[in-house]
Amino acid sequence: MIELPESNIAEGMAWPLPASKSHIIRWLMLASQSQSKMEICHRGEIGEDVRNVVSSLNRLGGKIETMDGKIRVGVSDVGFPIHASEGLDLGNSGTGLRMLMSLCSSLPLETSITGDSSLRSRPFDILSNALSAIGCDCKRWKDGSLRISGPANSGDIELDLSEGSQPLSALLMAAPSMRAELTVRITGKPVSRGYLNLSYKIASLTGSENEFSENFLIIRPWDIVLPERVDVPPERSLVPVIMLLERLHGVDLRSSVHLESELLGNAIESLHSNNVESLDLSDASDLITPAAALLAIGEGGTITGIGHVGRKESHRVKTTVELLSSFGMAAYSRDGGMLEVPGRQALVRPETKIETHNDHRVAMTALALASRVGGVILGHECVGATHPDFTITLLELLKQ
């Protein structure tokens, strides 16, 4: 729990964004399965999600070291992947859990995969059903943890990508170890296309010839050839939170240098314009909470393409409406995956403690709003999933 007083940031600075976990996790997955070494270089800090993936891959026989500004991946001394008798703990990382589910499907012995209470409450049925269809044994225990055993066989599977693209990314990233040829029928309109394109792009940089198709595709294993070094970009999905701080306090935190994003389409640029009548977040649903706050204090608007966010760390439509309401602002959830947000709303200090539901994006938005009018935030530590220094950086700014 942390209490912020009514405050004001006196002057701006370049906010230090963390490194992109989406890039790092995908490179770690493929590098661990290779027979060569590489360095993953980054400028910003790495969050707990990445560290939990590193720990889990090392338990499977990987040889990964983290240090300031880089992650070194060596060649396994014992083979990779091997059975992890103590199981794997992915903390709060849904991306990591899905990737490791697919990777462990190549092992004949059962692997236990778990995480924090938020992760254990999330649905993973689309991927588990796909793995079951190709001969794996996938069980969900009462506590929400998973048990996976293989090996996976070549075969036909069906994936509904209208609920998220990660199941397909996970199967692609694990294909070199699964050693199975998968014929995939895609149902539903794909969302989060930028992240899916990233998976295919990184795979292609290691020798994969797999290509995406919206209806029907085949995933084939390949022999991984690694570059000696890659440089990963900052976590641009956090830029709307920084924009929110800028507008609440009238300062420049240099968010404008991060407007272009292959992963998030034009969503960040649209928010930067401060005049958005309709914002489609089909490919950028992670932005919903800070985006709604920006619309509420700005000109208002409608957010669409968010029908699948119930599979995130929290049900982000509900938690976003709840969060804005706590600060005296309104947003209205509509059928069909829409959120209507009236504009020119005034912030008020919350009368009660703010729940963050162990959702780092909700927590960061709550901290940003409280930095202007004050408030007590519960569970703010969850920001560590992507940006461990977020609260420290914010408090330092508020001291000026």
298-313 pLDDT, tens per residue?
Answer: 999 999 998 776 555 5
Q: Domains of the chain by range and CATH?
A: 2-17+236-398 (3.65.10.10), 21-221 (3.65.10.10)
Contacts of 297 (CB under 8 A, 6+ apart): 244, 247, 248, 329, 343, 344, 345, 347
Residue 219 has a pLDDT of 98
137 neighbors 148 (Cβ within 8 angstroms): yes
Could you read off the pLDDT of 10-57 as tens digits, one per residue?
888 999 999 999 999 999 999 999 999 999 999 999 999 999 999 999
Residue 261 has a pLDDT of 82
**Residue with the larger pLDDT of the pair 261 and 296:** 296
Q: Write down the mean pLDDT value for the chain.
A: 94
Contacts of 245 (CB under 8 A, 6+ apart): 9, 15, 251, 253, 368, 371, 394, 397
Residue 400 has a pLDDT of 59
Rounded percentage of the chain residues whose pLDDT exceeds 70: 98
Backbone phi, psi, residue 136, to 5°? -85, 155
Nearest to 248 by CA among 52, 7, 3: 7
> How much is the pTM?
0.95
Could you read off the pLDDT of 322-377 as tens digits, one per residue?
999 999 999 999 887 899 999 999 999 999 999 999 999 999 999 999 999 999 99
**Residue with the larger pLDDT of the pair 80 and 308:** 80
